[in-house]
Copies of this chain bind each other. A is one copy, B any other.
Amino acid sequence: MGEDSVSVEDEVLLAHGYSEWSSHNIETLPVAVVYPRSTEECSEMVKICLKYKIPIIPYSGGSSVEGNFSAPYGGVSFDFVQMGAILELHSADMDVVVQPSVSWMDLNEKLKAHGLFFPIDPGPTAMIGGMVGTNCSGTNAVRYGTMKDWVVNLTVVLADGQVIKTRRRPRKTSAGYNLTGLFVGSEGTLGIVTEITLKLAPIPEETGVGVVTFPSMRKAAETAIEVIRKGIPVGAIEILDDVQMGVINRVGSTLRVWEESPTLFFKFAGTKNSVQDNIAEVAKVVKSHGGSDFEFAQGEEQQKQLWSARKQALWSMLSLRESGGESWATDVAVPLSRVAELVEVCKKEMDALGLFGSMLGHIGDGNFHETILYDGTKPEERAKVEKCVRDMVHLAIGMEGTCTGEHGIGLGKKSFLKEELGPGPLNVMRAIKKSLDPFWLMNPGKIFDR
């Protein structure tokens, strides 16, 4: 396939097995990186790996945080950098066919002229391939759902090199098992995705952003939940804690100074009238929960500025890392009525352990994130972080929640998945895995062990 299609350079191997964004880096690296240029080439490469029983690890944006693309058993990293094309845009059908290394942000730039957009918005560097792998979501999920709700079909190279297409292109179907939905979120452990058809949504006529602060995280969380429970159709509800708001000020990554209090960020979207309506409805709820004055913006530039703190949250936090500094970013999700309590308890524990961490959540989905900075050279500090994360996950599972709302299991949450589901469902997953990948070559060591 040519010399360009493979690399064994140390630097390249490191870039594909280690990531400074990841909460879980390990000692081993892939032994090679390959760069398929087509589904057929990918299939040939898989057949070679099968012949020599070499692990296969798909790689696109490399922005996942739970060690989802790390190489615990060595193996070959399949980097899709050569497959970053938009293959077909069906504007009238409101769908698009893309390759794995298409960035969702670039995609949206290109869709603008057609009045369409792809509503799933994880981290800005994420690419569609990995977004399928982890069933990601983001701030828009409260209105538009998660990745699995937007995939029409997948072209997949199976462990034996066979290529299948899970569906044709209907927006709705009841024809046989939902294979599309099975591959979405399977983190490359059942096959490698090489082509994806995505549903698209019409760009709303009008959007708006609103921001409001509260005396406590509990008050903020309760407000968010009441907005959802009332069915006010918001575009997003994000919660940021006082630490996070302070970090944004400290780093100075936005054009203004923010109040360092628990804060809710809202997005609104719809017709001009309905956005006005929704803002007024939310303002009422905010007031009844003791929120500050409700600041909102409707012009494009004003909206961008008001949303900037939310946008810069993670990057501001990570920019504070010093030499030897590590970050641990992780998420859980719980039923709506438990979010306020979850947030409060986690905040107390983080403070009690003396950790420096921020909290942020897609709170309308019951989905909640912690990002903790620590000194990677001090084992006792790492131990505290582990305890903090473990306790958060236990608490979430105890509330009938999940150990991950949108990041996936990867390496980092295998033990939690066991705790969450018990052996029965895990054995069903194992049986499915074994039936499709008998030599356990597809991204081995992720989600569950053999």
Contacts and interface: CB of A to CB of B under 8 A. Distances in A.
Interface of A: 90, 92-95, 134-137, 141, 145-146, 148-149, 158, 162-179, 181-182, 184-186, 190, 201-205, 225, 228-231, 233, 270-271, 273-274, 277-278, 281, 333-338, 365-367, 397, 400-409, 413, 416-417, 420-422, 424-426, 428-429, 431-432, 434-436, 447-448
A136 B174 contact: yes
B404 A174 contact: yes
Contacts of A158: 428
A176 B448 contact: yes
Contact of A273 (B176, B182, B273, B403): B273
Contact of A336 (B93, B137, B163, B338): B93
Number of copies of this protein chain within its complex: 2
Given A164-B425, A172-B405, 16 more contacts: A93-B336, A136-B174, A168-B402, A169-B401, A173-B404, A174-B409, A175-B404, A175-B417, A175-B420, A176-B409, A176-B447, A177-B429, A178-B181, A178-B182, A178-B184, A271-B281
B405 A170 contact: yes
Contacts of A177: 182, 185-186, 190, 429, 432, 447
A-B residue pairs, 7 tightest by C-beta? A202-B231, A164-B424, A92-B337, A181-B181, A435-B435, A93-B335, A169-B400
Contact of A141 (B137, B172, B281, B422): B172
A70 to B, nearest CB: 17
A309 B225 CA distance: 39
Contacts of A334: 170
Nearest to A202: B231
A111 to B, nearest CB: 13
A148 to B, nearest CB: 6
Contact of A93 (B167, B185, B337, B421): B337
A161 B225 CA distance: 39
A165 B425 contact: yes
Given A135-B178, A274-B274, A432-B432, A165 B409 contact: no
A95 to B, nearest CB: 7
Contacts of A365: 171-172
Contact of A335 (B171, B229, B367, B448): B171
Contact of A231 (B181, B204, B335, B338): B204
B162 A424 contact: yes
A391 B423 CA distance: 47
24 contacts: A90-B335, A92-B229, A93-B336, A93-B337, A136-B174, A137-B172, A168-B401, A168-B402, A169-B400, A170-B333, A170-B402, A171-B365, A171-B366, A172-B333, A174-B407, A174-B409, A176-B426, A176-B448, A177-B186, A177-B432, A178-B185, A202-B231, A271-B274, A273-B274
